[in-house]
Structure 1
Amino acid sequence: MKSNSIIVEGARTNNLKNISVEFPKNKITVITGLSGAGKSSLALSTIAAEAQRQVNKTYSAYIQQLLPHFKEPEVDKIKNLPFTVVVDQKGIGNNKRSTLGTYSDIYSALRLLFSRLAKPFIGYSMNYSFNNPVGMCPRCQGLGEVREIIPEDLLNMSKSLNEGAIEFPTFQPGGWRLTRYTESGFFDNDLPLKKWSESKITLLLNGEKQVPPNPTRKWHKSAKYIGLIPRITQTFLSKNNSQYQNDLKKIVKVKVCPACHGQRLNAKALSAKINNNNIADCSMMSLVDLKEWLNNINDAKTKVIIEEIEVKLTNLINAGLGYLNLNRTTASLSGGEAQRVKLANYLNSDLTDLLYIFDEPSVGLHPYDLQNINNIFKRLRDKGNTVVIVDHDPQVIAISDKIVNLGELAGNKGGYVTFSGNFADLIQSNTLTGKSLRHKGKLKSKQKSFKEFYYINNASLNNLHNVKTKIPQQSLTAITGVAGSGKSSLVKLIKKRYPEAAILDQHEIHGSNRSNVLTYLNVFEQLRQYFAQATRQSSGLFSFNSLGACPVCKGKGVLKLDLAYIGESVTTCDSCHGQRYSQKVLELKVCGMNIAEAMALSPTEFAAKFPILKYAMAILKEVGLNYIKLNQSLDTFSGGELQRLKLAKLLLGQSSKILVLDEPTSGLHEYNVQDFINLLQNLIFKYGITIIVIEHNLRLIGQADWVVDIGPNAGNKGGKIMFAGIPRQLVKQKTLTARALRYYFGI
């Protein structure tokens, strides 16, 4: 008999406290709880990891070695586990050749359509591919852009070649590539470049491949001379050499390809049209406009192709992505956009009886967009799948068939199941989630006295055209609007007008086992110096990445044994007992503690024990991270914790009077959101700064001092300042944000 529930027994992964949970099949279950309570530990590190491990076991030993190895979760048993698909917030590739069109397969279908209907007929569908030599633009190889080396950034004209005039690695004194110029016999190696003739500079930069007539004796006999720009282009740019990417950014300018004007294709492919549009025109249309364009094609023999494209476009549009176009590179998508693209893609699948796990799908979404996302969850369920969602948003929680709440607090104080039931009972429960859903915060009624403003006048960028607005100083301003309406573009205009503004964006912290809170905040060196001075040792001895590392585990604290197809075994190092340091270092104590023990403290504990880093500890406490341990590696932090850690780092080095936060409540529970709002208001009062947030959270928007609402919709149907003023006035407007606020506050 087929069981109708996925049963997890005795889960102890990370901070989970030996919990047992049931997930009903063919239903939607939402896992709630504070950031750091154990939601991801249950859904991703336990259920998803075990599902992937079980699937990997079905492959041959050879294939298993090629697949990702997942750490075995600490759990007694998981019963009735189906094939599992994880839809997380990670991007969907950094390849510039990967676009929304290629990833979704819509572009492949569009190529097929053009090969059947476009005039003049130019051949098969591959002729329309910008990733194939027969279709790509020969100038940019199908990328739509070219990278050009800027001579002014490459050369320091006040220096000679021997003094390091070529400002790029391996062309500096001592670098072997420099000899290709200093030993060529063409140049005076000790003469500053500003004294060279124009012809010599041209020869240095763009000289054609040739055999030097009078090289020095050190010149290799078979070598040929070639200018700096073609050499760097061939060696580094054309081969996409990853070793010197940061150095290349300093000397390279990216611009639209002058041959194809960003359309990626050659002239032949661009000449073929359907209803006056070539395939590049279609790729540049918004998804909404492309669907309209397809509706005007009446051709029986391509009906199946058109229907396939329309279904996929509809799924993307319903995911709130109608403002995007097929030419948009997948690398440029935000985490929320990438997740929705993946989500829409799964709707195209005919597979059933799957378990879908979604990691905070509400991130980056306006309440209006969430309605469509919720419908996708329901459709996946109704097709015969099981849906598990990790999320904080009340709109998402409300559609669940079952809710599992973890908590009640974060870290070691979390990891318990504190509620299991339906939405109505959750609201009445004594959990922090229930209390937060009952108490939604208050719509700000008391208006601040605004004395001075920051102004944006007649500015344009992307879909914003000649916009004009103002933002009060020393206040909390929320920039609102549906995804793609122009919020991020407005922030870029603010940064352009006020360069001193500090921006905390959505870029991930790439944490590893060797990075911790202190290394991320750039204060670990101060602690090492303090221990070094107190013990009269070198500071390098107090680094587990250097001299002080445990000789057995090399400072990792754990030992890994790769058992090939059986998987990877991870055990705590017996020599240092997970403390990472050598025995010599562990015997050196200051204030009664060795450095490993000091780093195992919380911020408050550390501040009470040691006289240094007090400001950093106060900042960590201020952003709500007082419960963490200072030695906690960044790869163990939840998304919400990382967001607050980024804010702590920004505040620690903060000198700007304008602080811009891009969706700072991402990954935060509603209970944490209220604390975060209080934190922002305290920072404004304490430091006299102006805080601007791009935000969808209605609790925060309602308590902001000022709101700039952009719309009315997304893409070319957005980009207008719909409202600028206090929240109490916004609810009286007819915008999508105003409608959501009225519903949220019951007005």
Structure 2
Amino acid sequence: MHLDISQFSPKQHIIIKGADLHNLKDIDVVIPRNKLVVITGLSGSGKSTLAFDTLYAEGQRRYVESLSSYARQFMGKLNKPKVKYIKGIAPAIAIEQKVNTSSSRSTVGTLTEIYDYLKILFARVGRTYSPISGEEVKKHNTTDVLNYILGYPSKSKLLLLAPVYISKERTTKDILTIFSQQGFARIFYKGKVMRLDEVKEIKEDFYLVIDRIIVKQRDKDFENRLYDNIETAFYEGRGSCIIKEMEGENQAFFSNKFELDGLQFIEPNIHFFSFNNPYGVCPKCRGYGSTTGIDESLVIPDTSLSVYDGAIAPWKGTTLSKHRDELVRNAYRFDFPIHRPWFKLTEKEKELVWKGNSYFLGISNFFEKLEEKIYKIQNRVMLSRYYGRAICKTCKGKRLRQEVNYVKIGGKSITDLVNIPLSDLMSFFKTIKLMDYEHKIAKRVLREINSRLDFLMKTGLGYLTLNRQSNTLSGGEYQRINLATSLGSSLVGSMYIIDEPSIGLHPKDTLSLISVLKSLRDLGNTVIVVEHDEDIIRMADEIIDIGPFAGTNGGQLVGFGTLKDIVGMETPTAHFLNGKKTIPIPQHRRKTDSFVKVFGARANNLKNINVKFPLDCLVVVSGISGSGKSTLVKAILYPALQKHFDNYGEKPREFSKLAGHFEHLVGVECVDQNPIGRSSRSNPVTYIKVYDEIRHLFASEKLAKAKGYKSVDFSFNTGNGRCEACNGDGITTVEMQFMADIHMSCEVCKGNRFKRELLEDYTLQI
């Protein structure tokens, strides 16, 4: 299909002229601005090359080159794509499927920026509560004390007292002498007001009478005098003072130290809630949530067993089983269910087994005793069996110091909120009740939090938690989080290029995803989606069809226009859209009696289920996003089979046992979304080891033997056969300082990677 680009204006369109990278065959493409545009076509036809390697690469390159030469030296150099020109291009943002972070400190909360807003919210309107009394901790000031006094009726008689603490450095006589010299006349001791000259000896703490007050309402002179005396009371009482009724028992304690119940609390600030800042981080795990120690999954390898049946692995054998017997014998004393499976125990019951009590030795104390005598070889061997990466015992995996849990909003601490599903978190913030002044402070922050949560819910991610590590997300989840973050940033006039956002998404959530993409468009952005999903293609404003087939038979523009235009064309995409071609439903299904069965799968969201996987046939595990599909297959079935066949591999997640007809299998392989290679020299032929056989074949020829060529000489990575000018790359790079490097075909080998004599000899042979 030939497109006349001269009729389009760069003000309303992005015009691409002569795109010729990879499979693309010098094509011209026009993309309307501020529209939802879908680029579709067969896999390998050149869709991603056009969208990412051409359009996005040029958008990024132009942005970088718009910066000063000083700024550019700190940024990566971007190569100019193989295209004649691109006009009307906007700043480009790519949202790909690959997970770009490997840091264990990165979480869903930090990735979406919701956690940053939570820190601000708790620092500004969070209330600190004492863990002892449950009362709110307040830092009083002079005005608080003054308002309390003025709350009494006129002519009420009160005492303003400052506590005085006896220390070894000064005697009571010295203290009283200093007070007398300062002009104070009375103290309050054992319920009585005494004059200083009447006091003989005091060995206990007492109170200094700062002022005897007779309340006067609406008297400015009285209030000014009282204000000065309250400040004096705070100073003499080292941050504390007391208001006591002279003719009653009531009294009120005030402190400007942010303390209560004898505890000194930390005043909340933003850094206090950060697990990347030394001020708020857990001192044990330093914000990672886990430490090197006794791994619970190794101590309790089979959680389907009860304590009575031997769930605790180290408490087996003739010698160490005495600890288990001790627990079983005394369980009736503290009502512990010894016959209940471990995974059905409550958190409190599990904690009891680990900590122990006066009737039995807990698991933690058991290992501590082993560590005390680590010089014994048998103890070192025992400890090595159960050492691994364990959840931090200090913060329980919450990453923050213990004091952070005292600060709450709506009865919840920040550690409570980051460990609940996003759907529950959204409900919490929708129904949260704040006081008027708190609402004014938190209004903007709450709007940002609710906006991002709303986008995450629309993209089907309501099952995640903010504390979920980013490097455990699938490619589709990571992509949709980036999509929600982009919507939250509210950028306009940009060009978003998105790679198959429907991957990993259940069909029921597709309409929500489309509404998100349209919201991004309606903000004033150009949204370009590389996609195969029929629903998204049908909802697009414009469709660009690349094809007709894959590889060398693709790379051409075969369709351009609205859905109505595309449906009337003779292309593979159009044939499926208009119903000329369909994927037939099989008339007969393959049946088999052999299977592999997983019993008691209960990791993450799985609720102790038994699943049978038929063998010798195609099996599909389906369900909505977050239902537990990947956990069942990738985290339980695959590592369990790997251990069965190879006796090594990753540790499977929680399940009871694996059974089935293993004689039908010889091994297990996992094919996932991770890239197959990272080296620029790697290609499909070298990856599947076919090139090794090709080299051996050439080396076995008579001419190769006559000239002394070996198999290694036919490699472009090593050996004497590769081109010495480009070291087998086929290209040479010319550095252009602050501008993008220029890559040119090697002048010696003309891009063929090998020496001329090797090529000449074998060109004749071929």
- CA change 1:198–1:75 in 2 (3 A) is closer
Gaps of 5+ in 1: 154-196, 206-228, 230-249, 594-747
- Alignment of 1:451 onto 2:593: yes
Report the counterpart of residue 96 of structure 1 in structure 2.
104
Contact 2:410 2:433 in 1 (8 A): no
- Alignment of 1:135 onto 2:280: yes
Report the counterpart of residue 570 of structure 1 in structure 2.
743
Q: What is the 5 A alignment of 1:209-228?
A: none
Which whole-Å CA distance do the structure 2 matches of 1:251 and 1:516 have between them? Answer: 42
Query: TM-score if structure 1 supplies the norm length?
Result: 0.64
Which whole-Å CA distance do the structure 1 matches of 2:736 and 2:121 have between them? Answer: 50
Query: Amino acid of the residue matched to residue 692 of structure 2?
Result: E
- CA change 1:2–1:50 in 2 (3 A) is closer
Query: Amino acid of the residue matched to residue 601 of structure 2?
Result: A
Report the counterpart of residue 87 of structure 1 in structure 2.
95
Query: Amino acid of the residue matched to residue 430 of structure 2?
Result: N
* Residue 394 of structure 1, aligned match among 521, 534, 559: 534
- Alignment of 1:253 onto 2:253: no
Q: What is the 5 A alignment of 1:665-676?
A: none
* Residue 564 of structure 2, aligned match among 421, 424, 444: 424
Which whole-Å deviations, capped at 9, do the CAs of 1:627-652 have from their partners, x for residues lacking one? xxxxxxxxxxxxxxxxxxxxxxxxxx
Query: Does the residue aligned with 2:601 lie in a helix, a strand or coil?
Result: strand
- Alignment of 1:582 onto 2:755: yes
Q: What is the 5 A alignment of 1:94-133?
A: 94-115=102-123, 116-120=125-129, 122=266, 123-133=268-278
* Residue 556 of structure 1, aligned match among 700, 707, 729: 729
- Alignment of 1:343 onto 2:352: no
Q: What is the 5 A alignment of 1:273-292?
A: 273-292=408-427
Report the counterpart of residue 331 of structure 1 in structure 2.
471
Which whole-Å deviations, capped at 9, do the CAs of 1:319-376 have from their partners, x for residues lacking one? 1111111111111111111111111011112321211111211121111122111101
Which whole-Å CA distance do the structure 1 matches of 2:122 and 2:489 have between them? Answer: 25
Query: Does the residue aligned with 1:571 lie in a helix, a strand or coil?
Result: strand
* Residue 145 of structure 1, aligned match among 287, 290, 302: 290
Which whole-Å CA distance do the structure 1 matches of 2:737 and 2:763 have between them? Answer: 43
Shift of residue 61 of structure 1? 1.3
Report the counterpart of residue 357 of structure 2 in structure 1.
none
Shift of residue 40 of structure 1? 1.5
Query: TM-score if structure 2 supplies the norm length?
Result: 0.62
Query: Does the residue aligned with 2:611 lie in a helix, a strand or coil?
Result: strand
Shift of residue 119 of structure 1? 2.0
RMSD over aligned Cα atoms: 2.9
- CA change 1:442–1:52 in 2 (3 A) is same
Query: Amino acid of the residue matched to residue 273 of structure 2?
Result: Y
Which whole-Å CA distance do the structure 2 matches of 1:198 and 1:312 have between them? Answer: 51
Q: What is the 5 A alignment of 1:557-636?
A: 557-589=730-762, 592-593=765-766
- Alignment of 1:297 onto 2:432: yes
Shift of residue 46 of structure 1? 1.6
Contact 1:51 1:82 in 2 (8 A): yes
Gaps of 5+ in 2: 1-8, 130-136, 138-265, 299-372, 641-657
- CA change 1:265–1:15 in 2 (3 A) is same
Report the counterpart of residue 618 of structure 2 in structure 1.
476
Report the counterpart of residue 496 of structure 2 in structure 1.
356
Q: What is the 5 A alignment of 1:172-187?
A: none
Contact 1:119 1:274 in 2 (8 A): no
- CA change 1:109–1:358 in 2 (3 A) is same
* Residue 488 of structure 1, aligned match among 624, 627, 630: 630
- CA change 1:38–1:136 in 2 (3 A) is same
Report the counterpart of residue 54 of structure 1 in structure 2.
62
Contact 1:100 1:330 in 2 (8 A): yes
Contact 1:560 1:568 in 2 (8 A): yes
Report the counterpart of residue 506 of structure 1 in structure 2.
673
Q: Which has the larger radius of gyration?
A: 2
Which whole-Å CA distance do the structure 2 matches of 1:202 and 1:469 have between them? Answer: 40
- CA change 1:504–1:135 in 2 (3 A) is same
* Residue 604 of structure 2, aligned match among 450, 462, 484: 462
Contact 1:531 1:590 in 2 (8 A): no
- CA change 1:325–1:471 in 2 (3 A) is same
Report the counterpart of residue 404 of structure 1 in structure 2.
544
- CA change 1:539–1:450 in 2 (3 A) is closer
Which whole-Å CA distance do the structure 2 matches of 1:520 and 1:270 have between them? Answer: 51
Shift of residue 587 of structure 1? 4.6
Query: Amino acid of the residue matched to residue 452 of structure 2?
Result: K
Contact 1:135 1:265 in 2 (8 A): yes
Identity %: 36
Report the counterpart of residue 265 of structure 1 in structure 2.
400
Shift of residue 512 of structure 1? 3.1
* Residue 710 of structure 2, aligned match among 522, 528, 538: 538
Which whole-Å CA distance do the structure 2 matches of 1:570 and 1:4 have between them? Answer: 33
Query: Amino acid of the residue matched to residue 265 of structure 1?
Result: L
Query: Does the residue aligned with 1:72 lie in a helix, a strand or coil?
Result: coil
Which whole-Å CA distance do the structure 1 matches of 2:423 and 2:550 have between them? Answer: 42
Which whole-Å CA distance do the structure 2 matches of 1:512 and 1:566 have between them? Answer: 24
Shift of residue 16 of structure 1? 1.7
Alignment: residue pair count: 507
- CA change 1:270–1:591 in 2 (3 A) is farther
